[in-house]
Amino acid sequence: MIIELRGLYRAFFEFVRLLFDRRQLIWEMARRDLVQKYVGSRVGLLWTVIHPLSLIFIFWFVFGFGLKHKPVANVPFSAWLTAGMAAWFSFSGIVAESTGVIVSNPHLIKKINFPSQILPVVKIVSSMVNHLVFLILLVILLLVNGVPITFFALQIIYYYCCLVFLALGISWLTSAINVFFRDVCQIVQLVLQIMFWATPIIWDIKIMPEKVQMFLRLNPIHYIIRGYRESFIYYRPFWLHLWGGIYFWCVTLFLLIVGALVFRRLKGHFPDVL
């Protein structure tokens, strides 16, 4: 049993180390991914601004303007909303795109000796541009509304790491299983839809009764979303949520290890199934 665990540990370590070894390839592919998305369209990279801007506008229009949502924590609803949405759309974008990433690259998997585990990482790297644009919009919104940016904003780096690791573990799992069971792609889309409404993103967790709040905190994404808001709006350090942090990392590391090992186990079958 111990030997087996040690073997798994080494397998996981080597699997992850390859990501570092092939960083140039990841970088190159992420560049290509972005170029493929935007080059050739008229306004190019401007789309990365238009998409989040329109989203923020719609949610502001419906909830802030239409339904007259009151400011949360003395911050305009739109800014408060953007902080949460920045994290959520980064996360859901990575997971949704990564799930199909093995299936959509058969020319790499079947024809050449390709380290396929880098593909979800490539998606993460290329999604950083989008995320950065989202964060810049958030900062502009805050400054326009007279909300100061403090040193707490640097916590965003920590919370973004949380986001990346959680998304990566899930992406490895779903992208590998999707090769065999194409419905996974649809299921992931559906689950993400539900999660968007079930996670306190466009509504404040405090509107729920205490019992339900306990239950909602089990959702690891909530830890990230709350973190984003605390960095920009509530100015609270992350160590205030010690148990929340421990719980989050337990879940994330578990998903990351399971995702990596399942991916590694299934990887050899990819060229035969695709």
Partner 1 sequence: MKESCNGNVVKVAGLSKSYKLYDSSKDRLKEALHPFKKKYYKEFYALRDVSFELPKGQVYGIIGFNGSGKSTLLKIICGVTKPTSGEVEVWGRVSALLELGAGFNPEFTGRQNVFFSGILAGFSRSEMKLRYNDIIAFADIGDFVEQPVKSYSSGMVMRLAFSVAIHIDPDILVIDEALAVGDAKFRHKCMARIRVIKDKCTILFVSHDMSAILSLCDRALWLDRGKLVMSGEPKEIARLYTEATYEGTEKVFDRQAEPERETLTTEISKLASESTLPEEASVDSFGTGKAKIISSRLVGVNGEIKKNVFCGDQLSLIFSLQLKEGLKHPIVGFGVADRLGLMVMGFHDLISSEPELELFIPGNVIEVKYSFVWPDLNSGTYAFTVAIADGILEDHKQEHWIHEAFVVNCIREKPLHGMFGMEYSLDLHQTLKE
Of the candidate residues 114, 152, 165, 247, the single one contacting partner 1 (CB under 8 A): 114
Candidate ranges 122-130, 185-193, 224-232, 261-269; the one touching partner 1 (CB under 8 A): 261-269
Spatial distance between the Cα atoms of 214 and 81, rounded to a whole number of angstroms: 22
Candidate ranges 68-76, 96-104, 109-117, 226-234; the one touching partner 1 (CB under 8 A): 109-117
Is 4 a binding residue for partner 1 by CB under 8 A? The answer is no
Of the candidate residues 49, 53, 108, 208, the single one contacting partner 1 (CB under 8 A): 108
Do the Cβ atoms of 202 and 81 come closer than 8 Å?
Answer: yes
Is 210 a binding residue for partner 1 by CB under 8 A? The answer is no
Candidate ranges 8-16, 102-110, 226-234, 237-245; the one touching partner 1 (CB under 8 A): 102-110
Spatial distance between the Cα atoms of 131 and 48, rounded to a whole number of angstroms: 9
Is 113 a binding residue for partner 1 by CB under 8 A? The answer is yes
Half-sphere exposure of 35 (CA within 13 A, CB side): 6
Nearest to 140 by CA among 52, 236, 201, 44: 52
Q: Which is nearer to partner 1, 32 or 206 (CB)?
A: 32
Q: Which is nearer to partner 1, 162 or 176 (CB)?
A: 176
Binding mask 23-52 for partner 1 (x = CB under 8 A): -xx--xx--x---x----------------
How many residues of this chain interact with partner 1, rule: CB under 8 A? 25
Task: Report, in Å, the least distance between residue 162 CB and partner 1.
Answer: 28
Candidate ranges 145-153, 195-203, 226-234, 258-266; the one touching partner 1 (CB under 8 A): 258-266
Site residues, partner 1 (CB under 8 A): 24-25, 28-29, 32, 36, 107-108, 110-114, 177, 179-181, 262, 265-266, 268-269, 271-273
